[in-house]
Amino acid sequence: GDSVTQMEGPVTLSEEAFLTINCTYTATGYPSLFWYVQYPGEGLQLLLKATKADDKGSNKGFEATYRKETTSFHLEKGSVQVSDSAVYFCALSDGGSGSRLTFGEGTQLTVNP
């Protein structure tokens, strides 16, 4: 079945540091890939997505590129802020639909001033 693997956390960075959170997936067909963010005490929010190979999703300074050859969708940000502290989830939807998301375990990010 489908699966998503994220780098183990938690991750602690200083403000303005570079962020990478690794995500690899296993799926049949051509899935859509997503990054969701969960701020403390809140539900998940879509951060960015990519629906086909080589697509780059971007939002709020975050980027991720759909790499079919390495089955990866790593999240990056050039300069993190304290307000980026949250849990980040990589997810996939097989067949390109928003239904039946498969989530990774989540990565806790803490950014210190």
Separation between Cα atoms, residue 113 and residue 43, nearest integer Å: 25
Could you give the C-alpha distances from 60 to 8, 9, 27, 32, in angstroms and in order? 23, 22, 28, 20
Closer to another protein by CB, 41 or 113: give it.
41
CB 100 within 8 A of CB 2: no
Total interface residues for another protein by CB under 8 A: 23
Burial bucket for residue 83 (CB in 10 Å: 0-12, 13-18, 19+): exposed
Residue list 5-24, contact with another protein (CB under 8 A): none
Which of 25, 27, 104, 109 binds another protein (CB under 8 A)? It is: 104
Site string for another protein, 37-76 (x = CB under 8 A): ----xxxxxx--x-x-------------------------
* Binding residues vs another protein (CB under 8 A): 4, 32, 41-46, 49, 51, 89, 91, 93, 96-101, 103-106
